[in-house]
Amino acid sequence: MDRTDPRYKPTPRWLLRVWAFVRDGMPAVGRYRRYFVTMAIPLAAIWIVTIAYLALVPDRYDSRMTLILPGSGVGGSVNLESIGQATVNSVSAFSSNTLSPTENYKRLITSDLVVRDAANRAGEDEDAFPAPQVKLIDQTNLIELTMPGASPEQARHRMEHLQAAFMAALDNLRKDEAATREKADATRIAELEHKVDAAQAALLRFQGETGLVSLDQFAGRVSGLDQMKAAERERRVLVAESGGTAGRLASSLQISIPQARLAMQLKADPVFSQLLTRYAETVGEETQRGGTLGSAHGAMEKLGAERSELRDALARRGSRLTGAGGKDILAFSDLAVSDTRERLFETLTNRDSMHAGNQAALAELRRQISQESGRSEALVAQASKLAGLVRDLRVAEAVFSSALARLDTNKADPFASYPLVQTLEVPSLPRGRAAPSPIIALAGALGASIFVLFGFLLLWLRQPIIRKLLPNA
């Protein structure tokens, strides 16, 4: 088109520059064929490999499964009244910043032991059984597993057996841990039981040697000593009271206690009483008649003779009964005549007997107090040793009982070291093949082809690029 034409539009200058750059860098016409042949070789190789991959690589199907670890710990406490306490706290396995149970389980799933067990369960060759792919989801307790297979059924079948092998390995680990702990606990229990037996034997031996069975017995002995001291004080009061009463009566009656006892003994004899009564009647009649008759009167002589005979009879009878002399008997012959004096004599005798009994009781109390006080120091030492032996036995029993309770409570949480694993998603049946993927293969081949073309383009335009970068070269 003519430039003078009003409809003429000039070509942009940048486009002219690009055309000049390409034109100047184009190779000679004879070299086009070599460029095309050289470029066709890598392109052909790329697409041949891609087509061979899609055609020859066997189909692969992936079965997926997701496991979850709840991760919560449990705690327990057992209180045994008057014996001891056992407390069990199973801390969550996820509380540690350095240990991760999901990482441990990932290693266990991919371990040779689990993979070989899964292969045996599936009835396949151990060397041909593929290892699963394990992926841990961040910020969760999820474990995602992928198992390949030649068919959807085989992939799911392998995943199911892998799951069974993994669970069996966990059970074996838990059982081995429990057995190891139980063996160690059994050794410890035997040691504690030996300590309990030794403490009990020492306590029984001490009780047999000393006769001190319990601290209550020691407290009873101390309390008994206090009671005896209190009784000794009361008995001293009674001794003083009975002695004072007897002494006052003896002073009032102007007679000693042995004399009063002699008078009571004579009064108790019926023969002596009868003789004493006749003697009193004879003396009274003699006194009465003596007021009217003279001493030479026959009746007076007869009464005097009778009185003398009765006195001798009283003396003989009294001497036979008491062993006292005749004069002493006759001196007390008037003491038992009056009933009032007789009751006073009886009271005096009773008070004297009470005084003697109180004195004997006081002497016995003092003897027992002296004996118990002499044994108190040894008893305190024995009680102190008994308290120590009882304390040792109780401590040994408490530790032993707590260990037994702890042994039982430790079995309450078998997931303390190896957390519980639950299946969030059961092994899936693949809906489509995972490999080979035509889309991915074709995208890769296309990308490789673009890179090859771009490389040859740079090779084509190397001359103008070099002149542009190195104009003076």
Residues 6+ apart with CB under 8 A from 418: 101, 170, 173, 174, 177
- CB half-sphere exposure, 92, CA atoms < 13 A: 10
Query: What pLDDT was estimated at residue 23?
Result: 53
Q: What are phi and psi of 86, to 5 degrees?
A: -130, 125
Query: What pLDDT was estimated at residue 417?
Result: 79
Residues 6+ apart with CB under 8 A from 195: 396, 399, 400
Low-confidence residues of the chain, pLDDT below 50?
1, 75, 83-84, 335-337
- Tokens describing residue 122: 């599936």
Q: Within the chain, how many helices (H) and strands (E) appear?
A: 13, 6
Reported pTM = 0.51
Query: What pLDDT was estimated at residue 337?
Result: 46
Tokens 């045994």 locate to: 80
pLDDT (tens digit, 9 = 90+) per residue, 14-68? Answer: 665 655 555 555 555 556 677 778 888 888 899 999 888 887 778 889 999 999 9
Q: Extract long-range pairs of 179-186: CB within 8 Å, 24+ residues apart.
A: 181/410, 182/407, 185/403, 185/407, 185/410
- Tokens describing residue 369: 């107090």
Yes or no: say if 452 and 39 are a contact pair by the CB < 8 Å rule. Answer: yes
Distance CA(460)–CA(473), nearest Å, equals 19
Residues 6+ apart with CB under 8 A from 376: 222, 225
Query: What pLDDT was estimated at residue 73?
Result: 52
DSSP 140: S
Burial 110-135 (b: 16+ CB within 10 A, else e): eeeebbebbbebbebeeeebbebebe
**For residue 236, what are the β-bridge partners?**
none
Q: Please tell me whether the peptide bond between 436 and the residue prior to it is cis, using omega within 30 degrees of 0.
A: yes
Query: What pLDDT was estimated at residue 340?
Result: 59
